[in-house]
Amino acid sequence: MKPLVCLLAGIFLLANCGSALARRGEAPFSISPTAKRGIAVPEFALPAIDAAAIRAASDAVLRNANEPHAKRLAIALEDTVNLDPARDGLWQLMSDGSTIWRLRISVPGATDLHLGFSAYELVPGASLWVIGADDYYEG
């Protein structure tokens, strides 16, 4: 009985690891060595943040609250920006006639970026990929 449980647990873990990778889908062409070769991607830099100070301030609010909370409520600092693909970033024309738009966004001290769009429209056949500094992608 015990070996069967271990075997089933192992199969479950392997299946879930594989599905986590499968959700990412095929890697976008824009992170392939061919697409990245010689491309200087413009950077939109926001001011640095002090993540430790922000967490401490959030913790202080929780300590002074009259209601119990299971976790920090603040997950991000809102910073409204006006980015436009017609003006910002870099358009790259590929040999097949397709185009890739790129823009690097940086916030020194940030552990994560939460992106929100007030206007967002892609032409048919287009796709949006958010790619991390370590080439982790979701799209």
pLDDT at residue 72, as a whole number: 61
Q: Based on the structure, what is the number of domains in the chain?
A: 1
Residue 122 lies in a domain: yes
Closest CA to 117 of 82, 76, 77: 82
pLDDT at residue 101, as a whole number: 92
Give the mean pLDDT per block of 10 residues along the chain (139 residues).
43 45 71 80 92 85 72 72 93 89 92 85 88 83
What is the residue type of 22? Answer: A
Residue 56 lies in a domain: no
Residue 100 lies in a domain: yes
Residue 5 lies in a domain: no
Residue 118 lies in a domain: yes
What span, in angstroms and rounded, lies between the C-alpha atoms of 29 and 1? Answer: 47
Residue 63 lies in a domain: no
pLDDT at residue 29, as a whole number: 82
pLDDT at residue 22, as a whole number: 43
pLDDT at residue 75, as a whole number: 67
pLDDT at residue 31, as a whole number: 84
The helix (H) or strand (E) run that includes residue 95 is: none
Q: Ramachandran region of residue 48, left (φ > 0), alpha (ψ -120 to 50) or beta?
A: beta
Residue-number span of the structural domain to which 106 is assigned? 22-50+81-138
Q: Give, in order, the Cα–Cα distances in Å from 41 to each of 21, 22, 78, 84, 89.
A: 27, 28, 24, 15, 7
Residue 67 lies in a domain: no
Residue 60 lies in a domain: no
Sign of CA dihedral 30, 86, 126, 82: positive
pLDDT at residue 48, as a whole number: 93
